[in-house]
Structures are given as C-alpha cells and as structure tokens.
Homo-oligomer: A and B are copies of this chain.
C-alpha cells in the first residue's frame, strides 16, 4: 500500500484517555491525560506526561501522587470536558458530578464511576519538552467488583472502556482473540 511520509508526530493509537485525579479528598482535581502507558511489569510502573502549565502539574509535583482512572465510553463527554477546562477556574469534579472514593495507598482520590483505578506514587519527574513525564510506581489497583468473576478473574471487556485515537474517542469493539491464541493447541 502506498505510504505518505510525515515529519515526526505524536501519532500512537489507541491510547487510554485517562481521568487522572490528584490532590486530596478535600482539595481534589481531575484532568484528562492520554499520554500514559505501562513502562515496567515488575515493579508495576506507569507514567503520565503533563504540560507544566496545567493546574494539576503543581499538585502532582508537590504531592508526588496521582490516580489513573480508566473511563467507560458512557463517560466520553466528561473525559473530553476534563481535558478542555482547567481546575484553576472551575471545580470540574462538582461540575461533572464525579463521586470520589479514598485511595488505599495514596491521599489522591479515586473516581467511583471508573471501573479501574491505578494508585500511583511518583518516582521521577523528567522534563522532555512541552511535557514532563511523571514516572510512577503503581501501589494499588481498585477494580469494580462486578467485573470480577467467581474465579477471581477480571472481565475487562464488560467494563466498556473508552479509547482515544488521533483526536477521536471510541468504544472498544469486538474481541479478536486472547493473549497466546496464535500458538495454543486446539483441544480435540
């Protein structure tokens, strides 16, 4: 297939448009961050990259904590809104009617409506250009109980997570396979 060559750009997809909470239960804030990912399995580590101009930047820098909350496709409008508006001028948590739960291992709150939340403690702030990468250890994971089956397995497909791809939000679609399916022997 014919290809066009563009100069370097941030064109990776799909990525999770995470609702990142920071601060405390009393003084919380939330912002949307698509520049996130897993960087290590053991210890479990992630990052969020945030512009220093963002209101949450100073809070995360000061407290060294944040929570990555994975939103559902039903929350797309809230996700977009929390990326467009600043907590310096507006209480986004009240405005979006977001219910907070306490973190288990961090002072930053967890969003009750998100099926999965990763509690994170910053290990390093790395300035890269427009964004600073906050590398962090994942100290706990909160998961909606209704997604856990009787064997203790998490059924994330039922969560209906939201995806972000190059300026557009999408629901997760049909399942294409399980990890390892390409090499698994078929049962007779």
Contact = CB atoms under 8 A, between A and B. Distances in A.
A42 to B, nearest CB: 5
Interface in A133-188: 133, 135, 137-146, 148, 154, 156-157, 161-163, 165-183
Interface size class of A (residues with CB under 8 A): 35 or more
Interface of A: 1-16, 18, 34-47, 49, 68, 70, 73, 76-78, 80-81, 83-85, 101, 104, 110, 112-113, 115-119, 128-131, 133, 135, 137-146, 148, 154, 156-157, 161-163, 165-183
A128 B44 CA distance: 9
Contact of A176 (B3, B140, B169): B169
A3 B145 contact: yes
A16 B12 contact: yes
B148 A167 contact: no
Given A1-B146, A8-B138, A180-B84, A39 B170 contact: no
Nearest to A73: B176
